[in-house]
Amino acid sequence: MLQPNPYDVLFEEVQIGPVTAPNRFYQVPHACGMGHLRPQAHAAMREVKALGGWGVVCTEETEIHPSSDLSPYSEQRLWDERDIPALSLMVEAVKRHGALVGIELVHNGHMASNLFSRLPALAPADIQLDDGYPRMARRMDKSDIRELRRWHRRAARNAKAAGFDIIYVYAGHDMAVPQHFLLPRYNQRSDEYGGSLENRARLIRELLSETKDEVGDRCAVALRLGLDERMGADGMQAHEEGRAVVELLADIPDLWDVNVSNWQNDTVSTRFEPDEGYEVDQMRFVREVTGKPTVGVGRFTSPDLMVRLVRGGVLDLIGAARPSIADPYLPNKIAEGRTDAIRECIGCNICASSDKLGVPIRCTQNPTMGEEWRRGWHPESIAQRASDAEVLVVGAGPAGLECALQLGRRGYRVSVAEATGEFGGRSLRESGLKGLTAWRRVADNRLYELSQMANVRLYRESPMSAGDIVETESAAVFLATGARWRGDGTGRTHFRPVQGLSDIAVFTPDDVMAGNLPVGPVVIYDDDQGYMGGVIADHLAGKSLAVTFVTTASIVSPFTTLTLEQHRIQSSLIAAGVKLVLSSKLVAAGRGTVSTADIYGGSRDEIACTGLVLVTARDIDRSLSAALKREAPDLCVETIGDALAPGLIADATFSGHLAARNFESDVLETEAAIYRREMPALPAVNTL
Amino acid sequence: MLQPNPYDVLFEEVQIGPVTAPNRFYQVPHACGMGHLRPQAHAAMREVKALGGWGVVCTEETEIHPSSDLSPYSEQRLWDERDIPALSLMVEAVKRHGALVGIELVHNGHMASNLFSRLPALAPADIQLDDGYPRMARRMDKSDIRELRRWHRRAARNAKAAGFDIIYVYAGHDMAVPQHFLLPRYNQRSDEYGGSLENRARLIRELLSETKDEVGDRCAVALRLGLDERMGADGMQAHEEGRAVVELLADIPDLWDVNVSNWQNDTVSTRFEPDEGYEVDQMRFVREVTGKPTVGVGRFTSPDLMVRLVRGGVLDLIGAARPSIADPYLPNKIAEGRTDAIRECIGCNICASSDKLGVPIRCTQNPTMGEEWRRGWHPESIAQRASDAEVLVVGAGPAGLECALQLGRRGYRVSVAEATGEFGGRSLRESGLKGLTAWRRVADNRLYELSQMANVRLYRESPMSAGDIVETESAAVFLATGARWRGDGTGRTHFRPVQGLSDIAVFTPDDVMAGNLPVGPVVIYDDDQGYMGGVIADHLAGKSLAVTFVTTASIVSPFTTLTLEQHRIQSSLIAAGVKLVLSSKLVAAGRGTVSTADIYGGSRDEIACTGLVLVTARDIDRSLSAALKREAPDLCVETIGDALAPGLIADATFSGHLAARNFESDVLETEAAIYRREMPALPAVNTL
């Protein structure tokens, strides 16, 4: 007899207004960098979520009018009827698999700069655009509010026509006008939309009512609300007005989708919120107050926690953005009792970075994410092997493990030779640094999967020379030997080695990861500008070293703005006593000192220190591939991951995955995928 | 008998390899933010240049392969044959008017991050991507170089198929691989592509030869080369290797398109290069050395200078990007002896900002720029009036003057009432600040045009009350009364007034522009983050005041990164002795002091000063429009420019232009234009 699944409760249907979710797994609206520019890619990506068992799958933000124009960022659009066909692609793709499909209608107010439409932005008051473009949003008058309601109603009607089941009113993440009206710092109006909470919530109430009136016969109407801004008394607090708003509007929405505002506070990286469920305390009251279906998020991947939240009456639906990106098949895996196989989100926020960069979503853990349409990749299936070839992967870091895993899934006999005593490479090494513990999941997940495969063998302490490789008689070799941080100061700023480095104790991130730490006052020089410099500073400050952080950037770790971490990082370094020297380059080093220069004014400074950590650029050792080319010119050799081009771990897992997919595949199709993209429609009558 | 045109030499034909330019006016390749995402808008914009008399009209950068993927920026693409139809739209549009059409093929190397294609970037060495994404470009091996040459050849073939007359090899602005190979800081190779200048120029030579081989029978092949990097001995210098490269390759290209590298040095604002022709000294030798047709730029708008450059044997073709944006009809106006009517570029670089923002080009002087396709606007023609209505414009700043000008062109009888003694409003006031002299051209050009119109009357010193306006019996009123800088500290950071401002002498930019200057040590608090704060600091430092510049941004005037000025601005303030306090907010003011707090760490600081200039947000006085609504509820009143939503001068001229175009126009068409955009093609078989 089959064991009862302890997680059965997660697979119960949930009635949401006039529609019924087939289970409790709910992919909340999340950005993906595809949007209106890439409707086919978008539909294919959302379809995989439905295939993987998510009972509800939503869009990202969907602009309802050109006065909420987020260009150049590509979110969804439902400006008018012409957007219906593109959105219908997604609707059709998701519903095909029995899931409900939701759309997050949004007017972004002063968070939209309208750089394409050129319309004045709209806000409760005359306030500046959020993005730094020196233009102000216009205080909405009564006719503006009427117009906004008309646009929202029209968008709801069009969303229904496109086939959506759940239609949102969005008032969260500090990104939407209805929330801006709610917040006293923006809303100091003296009319019936300002003053009391009831007045400030009037626009939300109107939008909810009008949306229900327009589409409520067939569609559920959801309210997505930021309950708490994590600003203390300077902003909304869940136990104060957050709760009061929920009480005020309790009966109106068919579904409450609640979270913490803003995006930085909702989508926190594991570096700053290592545990899942970090928003539960703020949302605990909503279900009880409203009695309505409630969904919330918090990087949930543990089915036990999910069951507790449902049984405890906190949530009816388990919301997810990042866990559904890292593993679109998370629900199916729970249903099938394969919880060990869940590819757990590492909370690195590379997914968020792609949206902020305006390009399709990527994921460190799930390299198929964003490639569903262009390359036809699926997270759980892959073409079977084309031959009986035995293959060798040299290096068991993120690229090597991913490559071996996918080659193994394809059925090849794979050997993995790792030079050191441990598997995991960079993801393991970096996970020893302060804040990056979760990054070892990149290795853990793959090592678990590989341990289930009879056709893949991993070897520790197996450095390979070209001769060793030739002796294995492998049909193909994948070199995933990684990169090392440079110790000569070359990087973005210096193209030749920095003078005087032999006079001071120089360290690199590799030294720090290996436990080889400086002893005295230390200068960290960050010319990489990624996340590593700030991590090293935090790590060394945590060892009670006196740290001065010198960087060519004007802020600490500017790349982490894209992963929503930058403000927290710079604040935490200051709190840890790290001294910051910004917009400065290293000029020279000497005995007990380094010299820096301001990159604008050129003024020099001397900093006394006994150690210097260089976080500049990385170096590739190509001697093995060169030797192979000499000794076995006909051997099929492919370099992957950091050994090909040092980048993020996400770049490495993608590279490893790509190589495994492409191995012995149709070359024409592989080449065609490089060029595949969505292109603008041209006039029907091209006179040429 | 007609006078001979003194500028006839500018209208001579120029033979360029196998093609003939109809005159010497040459729109060099320039970015426009339209690119592959907006091919119809792009074609329409370039067509207007051809209509206006430019003998050659070029594209912007055109990516030749997915490994040169500039996403999310939208430049042109010629990755493969599928891009031909979109590019053909432009070819057809330009050639229809007798101009030659050129295409700038480019491989951007490590300046392209390949965020969409995800391919490793390519460079002469393993160096970091330029944009801050923490990934490194890959050192090109011999097969990479062969591939790049193959891609370039294919792109040239496809460009010819699309109908282009001039096909570029691009080695300029620090943006292209062929130039990166040329520069020793990037190229430290020891193979035949590194070392000697001949070796470093090998790739350019190969690309030129192969392009000529592929398309030279019918197309001219141009080389766009950065001759000087303005870095002294740290970079290429025109009198050193710059000249040597030209000597080395002299005979190969059909056309030399020469300039100064990088983009910041080529496209300098009037704030830092007030005079046109600022690159002439660097390019003077090229024509003499090569004997080939030569084109160069330098914000040329003076036909006398153009004639001197041609007669002096410096240039054969007068290159222009910005002057052709500000006035697409510049050549025709010179031909017709209407040089007074040239709408002269003010060198504000808002055109560049739109490309860097990823949205269609705009221009302070020419509000039709970028709206040719979406709104059907033309810089020199406009629909005639729909009635005999007499209209009133209140305020003679950028929005008011532009609105009056276009209403006048439409044939309406227009009165302009200006409250002060001078016409020009903000453009005039700001032109009194250090570095912004050229901004008065916004007023000068319009006042000249208006002076030619019998149907427009301008009145100075005519403040208007609602009663005054009603008395004019105007059929419509346009309120262009501008905005004032706030004096209470509210802005991006503070939503309520800052404490203690009554205890210190507070100034705003309006005070400074009016000559009401602080006397003692002064703090400038910039929470606007546009250009104004830095200008005020420069202005006051120029008056020998001790200036401390406090800003919530991490750099001075971050918006000016988009106008290519930021580095110069911050450097010049430091050189002028301005003390910078970055990433800090104003907390309070008191007698002889202000308090600031670091926005990351919260640490407080006190700065002694006797004056405080607040550059925060702007305020709109809506009393006139409110009074009109009360006293003349049926009067047609439209608010425009800063009075509608304070922004850039470019926003104001656009707003004034839009109002004039839309006045008494077809409402359906006006509304439709708000929604018009180019959208991706959907699958031919939509199963829905």
Rounded Cα distance between A635 and A624, Å, is 13
Please tell me whether the overall predicted TM-score, pTM, comes out greater than 0.90 for this model. Answer: yes
Residue with tokens 């490309």: B355
pLDDT value, residue B116 = 97
> Which one of A86, A188, A529 has the shortest CB-CB distance to B134?
A529
| Per-position b or e across A336-350, b if 16+ CB within 10 A of its CB | eeeeebbbbbbbbbb
User: Phi and psi (nearest 5°) for A270?
Assistant: -65, -20
Q: Are residues A82 and A197 located together in one domain of the fold?
A: yes
Looking at B259, B279, B299, the residue that finishes a domain is B259
Q: In DSSP terms, which residues pair with A14 in a beta bridge?
A: A21
Q: Are residues B141 and B25 located together in one domain of the fold?
A: yes
Successive 10-residue mean pLDDT values, chain B, 688 residues: 81 98 98 97 98 98 98 97 98 98 98 97 96 94 98 98 98 98 97 98 98 98 98 96 98 98 97 96 96 97 97 98 98 96 97 96 98 98 96 98 98 98 98 98 98 97 98 97 98 96 97 95 98 98 97 98 98 98 97 97 94 98 97 97 98 98 96 97 66
A680 lies within 8 A of chain B by CB: yes
Residue A327 lies in a domain: no
Q: Are residues A96 and A25 located together in one domain of the fold?
A: yes
Looking at A618, A638, A664, the residue that finishes a domain is A618
Residue A375 lies in a domain: no
Q: Helix A142-162 and helix A202-215: axis angle, to 10°?
A: 30
Residue A504 lies in a domain: yes
Q: Are residues A111 and A192 located together in one domain of the fold?
A: yes
Residue of B nearest to A672 (CA): B80
> Which one of A74, A647, A687 has the shortest CB-CB distance to B136?
A647
**CB proximity under 8 Å: A 459-518 to B:** 491-492, 495-496
pLDDT value, residue A5 = 83
Give ∠ CA B135-B115-B355 in degrees, rounded to 5.
115
Q: Are residues A627 and A581 located together in one domain of the fold?
A: no
What CATH number does residue A582 fall under?
Answer: 3.50.50.60
Range of the domain at A505: 486-618
Find out whether B224 and B26 touch, Cβ atoms under 8 Å. Answer: no
Strand ranges, E, within A462-592: 476-479, 484-485, 505-507, 522-526, 547-551, 579-581, 584-590
Q: Are residues A539 and A647 located together in one domain of the fold?
A: no
Q: How many domains does chain B have?
A: 3
Query: Cβ contact (<8 Å) for B554 and A559?
Result: no
Query: Considering only CB atoms, which chain A residues are within 8 Å of B150?
Result: none
pLDDT, tens only, A584-624: 999 999 999 999 999 998 899 999 999 999 999 999 999 99
Query: Cβ contact (<8 Å) for A574 and B603?
Result: yes
Looking at A197, A228, A259, the residue that finishes a domain is A259
ipTM field: 0.97
pLDDT value, residue B189 = 98
Residue A603 lies in a domain: yes
- Pick out chain A residues at pLDDT < 70: 1-3, 685-688
Residue A269 lies in a domain: no
Q: Are residues A517 and A652 located together in one domain of the fold?
A: no
Q: Are residues A446 and A544 located together in one domain of the fold?
A: no
Q: In DSSP terms, which residues pair with A590 in a beta bridge?
A: A593
Residue A5 lies in a domain: no
Q: Are residues A69 and A215 located together in one domain of the fold?
A: yes
pLDDT value, residue B424 = 98
Q: Are residues A79 and A125 located together in one domain of the fold?
A: yes
pLDDT value, residue A613 = 98
Q: Report the relative pairing of strands B611-615 and B505-507 from DSSP bridges.
A: parallel
Q: Helix A649-662 and helix A398-410: axis angle, to 10°?
A: 30
pLDDT value, residue B194 = 98
Query: Considering only CB atoms, which chain A residues are within 8 Å of B558?
Result: 132
pLDDT value, residue B2 = 59
Residue A519 lies in a domain: yes
Q: Are residues B653 and B580 located together in one domain of the fold?
A: no
B681 lies within 8 A of chain A by CB: yes
Residue A300 lies in a domain: no
Query: Cβ contact (<8 Å) for B675 and A79?
Result: yes
* Number of CB atoms found within 10 A of residue B650's CB: 25
Find out whether B613 and B589 touch, Cβ atoms under 8 Å. Answer: no
> Which one of B120, B528, B645 has the shortest CB-CB distance to A645?
B120
What CATH number does residue A178 fall under?
Answer: 3.20.20.70
What CATH number does residue B663 fall under?
Answer: 3.40.50.720
Q: Which pair of tokens denotes residue A337? A: 């009792």
- Mention every residue, 6+ apart, whose C-beta is less than 8 A from residue A444: A424
Q: Are residues B522 and B535 located together in one domain of the fold?
A: yes
pLDDT value, residue A4 = 74
Query: Cβ contact (<8 Å) for B359 and A116?
Result: yes
